[in-house]
Amino acid sequence: MKKILEELNRTDRIAVTGHERPDGDCVGSVMALYLYLKKMLPEAVVDAYLEKPSLVFDCIDGIEELKTDCPEDICYDVCIVIDTSADRIGAAKKYFDTARKTINIDHHITNADGCGTVNYIKPDASSASELVYELLEEKDLDASIAKAIYIGIAHDTGVFQYSNTTPHTMEVAAKLIGYGFDFPRIIDQTFYEKTYWQTQILGRALLESIRFMDGRCVVSMVDRKTMAFYQVTPQDLDGIVSQLRSIKGVECAIFLYELEQQTYKVSMRSNGKVDVAKVAAYFGGGGHVRAAGCTMRGTYYDCINNLSLHIARQLKEAKA
């Protein structure tokens, strides 16, 4: 794919969007591209659509301009989908379906072919934000754009810690902090800081976690009643699964929360031996080798049994 401005040559109406329940990478990459396009194409109409992000991302400039619903039927010249395939963009799908040209920028291995007429898919990239950086002209960046990209990269790499962090990721991050924003503070604010209730439910989920397969798997679940008791939303549960993954001896961590009766959002994290993207893809989800998710129906025990079957098979193969 060419640089994004070349792809958008003389375009009037551009929509930028990402996945439902947007995480840091999704918010960072969508906002970075939105800010860049507004700056570089002042004559064009540029709209960014996302479900309302967590309030911690209020530190990203221009976030108040995000459109959090899609009431109008607008026919865009170009619709850019970032950090996902078009099947997870929610209400903005109608803009994707009617756009003259579609561009997909993603790093999910389960979206290897891309869903756009033009695709920039690199499963080895740390984050969609790193890919957005590669498509912009460096000379046109500023502190606001750099900050949004940096937040995205930091979130998807667990602050430059996960195995998706490459020398290139670090080089990009080094260039970004050169734009001069308070990077230690925004990482604290958006990644580490938790409210009292978020910390309480994390504690509860850890306390109720169960190890199985000789301690190589761990699972925990939060139901709607518990979420209501602690007055938390799904966004408040971020980070629970990575905490479970850190348990010594664990190869695969599973965290579920109840969406509605007998429907669970599943998050999985692996320490390398289990390809959780494969497990998630089997149940209609997707993600990366070490971090993936899906939505499952059935009782909690049905879900665990079904997931375990696939995880056990992979662990057995890894041993053989």
- Cα within 13 Å of Cα(263), Cβ side: 4
Q: What minimum distance in Å lies between the beta carbon of 180 and ligand AMP?
A: 30
Query: Binds 88, which of ligand AMP, Mn ion, none (CB < 5 to 8 A, cut-off by type)?
Result: ligand AMP
To Mn ion, the closest distance from the beta carbon of 122 in angstroms equals: 11
Helix, strand, coil percent values for the chain (each to nearest 5): 45, 20, 35
The one of ligand AMP, Mn ion, none whose footprint includes residue 99, by CB under 5 to 8 A per kind, is: none
Residue 138 or residue 302: which is nearer to ligand AMP going by CB?
Answer: 302
Q: What is the C-alpha to C-alpha distance for residues 99 and 81, in angstroms, rounded to an integer?
A: 11
Tokens at 163, concatenated:
């195995």
Nearer Cβ to ligand AMP, position 46 or 291?
A: 291
Q: Site residues (CB under 6 A) for ligand AMP? A: 19, 88, 267, 285-288, 291-295
In whole angstroms, the minimum distance from the beta carbon of 139 to ligand AMP comes to 31
Element spanning 47, H or E:
strand 45-49
**292 is in the binding site of which of ligand AMP, Mn ion, none (Cβ under 5 to 8 A by kind)?**
ligand AMP
Q: How far apart are CA 285 and CA 27, in angstroms?
A: 20
Please, which residues have CB within 8 angstroms of residue 269's CB and are 6 or more apart in sequence? 241, 242, 244, 245, 252, 253, 276, 290, 291
Number of H helices, E strands in the chain: 12, 11
Which residue ranges make up the site for Mn ion (CB under 5 A)? 23, 25-26, 83, 127-128, 156
Nearer residue to ligand AMP within complex by CB, 19 or 310: 19
Looking at the Cβ atoms of 81 and 315, the one nearer to Mn ion is 81
